[in-house]
Amino acid sequence: MIREMSRVMAASKLNNKPQKLQEVFLEMGYAENLTYSDYEFMFERVGIATRIITALVDATWRTHPIAIDKTKRKINAEADQADDPSVIETAIKALNDKHGIIKTLKQADTLCCIGQYSILVIGDKLGKYEEPLSKSDSLYDLMQIDAYSEEQAKVSRFVTDTKNPRYGLPEMYTVSVKGDETTKRESYSVHHTRVIHIADDLVSSKLNGTPKLKSVYNHIMELVEILGSTRTIYRNGARRVNVFTEDPETLTTDDANAEMNAKLEEFEHGLRHNMLLKGVSVNSISPSFPGATGVVNDLMDQIVAGSRTPHRILMGSEQAVLAGNSDQDSWHSRVAGRRECFAADSVLIPLIKRLQDYGYIQKVDFEIIWEPLLERSKSEKITDTERLVRMARTVVGNAGEVTKVITIEEIRDLAGLEPDVPETKYDEMGVYEDSEGELPMQNQKPWANLKSKLRKRRKYIKSI
């Protein structure tokens, strides 16, 4: 009765959730409300949780993004000139050299994946964080760019003026810097102009995203419990269980029984390895260990589905060496989309534009491009080229010319070669020629000798 009342009281706290689902959650012992500390602790202590976040973040920032000046690129393309480093490219390189901006963005991404959001705080030479960001005409007046988690950065005041374009958005933040054992926790206010607010997987809020571990938290907890209980069962079951059966016809005294019990106690605690017993038979019971493979596999399926990470990539290497082609395609498609829609649009571009608005970087029209996630191997390039040529051969037929469907440049580009065919001084027979005529035999191509021998062989056969 008491347990039923406690369940009803707990269920009343979850009135926003479906009744049937909350009953199941309560029965299973799942946490009612998860906090940032819960996600952070799981990320730091549970390997599968760490992998879910680091696999996605590492793949997103594996290659550095490049900021391209679109106007200069267009002019160079029309003039057929090489693209020299533009102002924006030089500024981003200086920003990365001075402040390690790519490393900081990756850190902010990790903190954002653990919680609902993270922020970047921009520090100038004045150091007055409670005031708006100061204007400057030099990137060297930028003192620091730091990343903070949801737990460290709280919104202290929102914009309440309905006529303000930023209505409902943060106006001031309170940032707490964690101290060590010798220093206290320091807090200070930060104006919104100094902050880049980062949130991923937005659902019902413009500020708070969805933690990457939220949908799989319960399953990871069950996995930890099963693995921990299996270890306990193995440790207890691995101990040998002996059954001592006393012969009822054997006459014993109380002193003899006390002595035998003392020996058994010593044997049980490892103080004695052999005993001399009289009228007692010993039988050992083999331990049995329940298998947990099926349950673990079911939980892993749920974790894979909830984290949207292919199983082989989740359990394999970061480059997905152990993953199949379909897993690689699915994973690369997700990472490529995340680069464009999140890393570029929600993190890097807002940061660059903020620095442009306040004069730290010259204003130019730019775009963010990314290098390929994974370079194809030579064998993959050859296979793709052969597949393309076979397809073209199917279109034109055996008597047609493949180059009418695809150009030599396209074929060479797919194979990873330079588009222009290099000039050669070898003739059709494989003989190297120069202005003075044919060179000695050792300077000919290997197949030149072979063709000559084949011609002589055919002449000899015809003469027979």
DSSP string for 350-375: HHHHHHHHTTSS----EEEE---SSP
**pLDDT, greater one: 350 or 295:** 350
Query: pTM score > 0.75 for this model?
Result: no
What pLDDT does residue 358 have? 92
Confirm if 189 and 156 have CB atoms less than 8 A apart: yes
- In angstroms, rounded to a whole number, what is the distance separating the alpha carbons of residues 299 and 305? 10
Residue 92 tokens, joined: 């981003």
**In the predicted model, is pLDDT for residue 15 greater than 60?**
no
- In angstroms, rounded to a whole number, what is the distance separating the alpha carbons of residues 441 and 415? 32
**In the predicted model, is pLDDT for residue 444 greater than 70?**
no
What pLDDT does residue 447 have? 47
Mean pLDDT value across residues 410-433: 62
**In the predicted model, is pLDDT for residue 100 greater than 50?**
yes
- In angstroms, rounded to a whole number, what is the distance separating the alpha carbons of residues 115 and 111? 6
CB under 8 Å to 192, separation ≥6 — which residues?
166, 169, 170, 171, 172, 173
Report the number of secondary-structure helices (H) and strands (E) in the chain: 16, 12
Residue 438 — pLDDT band, cuts 50, 70, 90? very low
What pLDDT does residue 82 have? 47
Q: What phi and psi, each to the nearest 5 degrees, are found at residue 143? A: -90, -40
Residue 41 tokens, joined: 């602790």
**In the predicted model, is pLDDT for residue 124 greater than 80?**
yes
Residue 17 — pLDDT band, cuts 50, 70, 90? low
Confirm if 299 and 227 have CB atoms less than 8 A apart: no
Residue 331 — pLDDT band, cuts 50, 70, 90? confident
Confirm if 299 and 226 have CB atoms less than 8 A apart: yes
What pLDDT does residue 320 have? 42
- In angstroms, rounded to a whole number, what is the distance separating the alpha carbons of residues 434 and 221? 76
Mean pLDDT value across residues 152-165: 93
The residue written with tokens 């930028």 in the block is 142
**In the predicted model, is pLDDT for residue 4 greater than 80?**
no
**In the predicted model, is pLDDT for residue 199 greater than 90?**
yes
Identity of residue 7: R
Give the up-direction half-sphere exposure of residue 182: CA atoms within 13 A in the CB hemisphere: 0
Residue 35 tokens, joined: 């906090």
Percent of the chain with pLDDT strictly greater than 90: 33
- Triad 184, 190, 193: Cα angle to 5°: 155
**In the predicted model, is pLDDT for residue 323 greater than 60?**
no
Helix (H) or strand (E) segment spanning residue 241:
strand 241-246
**In the predicted model, is pLDDT for residue 203 greater than 80?**
yes
Residue 161 tokens, joined: 């003026």
Percent of the chain with pLDDT strictly greater than 70: 73
What pLDDT does residue 53 have? 96
Please state the length of the chain: 464
Residue 77 — pLDDT band, cuts 50, 70, 90? very low
What pLDDT does residue 156 have? 94
Alpha helices in 339-445 (DSSP H): 349-357, 378-396, 408-414
The residue written with tokens 């290497």 in the block is 317
Nearest to 271 by CA among 281, 259, 263: 263
Mean pLDDT value across residues 227-250: 71
Determine how many CB atoms are found less than 10 A away from the CB of residue 169: 14
Give the up-direction half-sphere exposure of residue 394: CA atoms within 13 A in the CB hemisphere: 6
DSSP class of residue 339? I
What pLDDT does residue 293 have? 80
Determine how many CB atoms are found less than 10 A away from the CB of residue 412: 15
Mean pLDDT value across residues 209-228: 91
Residues facing residue 145 across a β-bridge:
122
End-to-end CA distance of the chain, in Å? 110
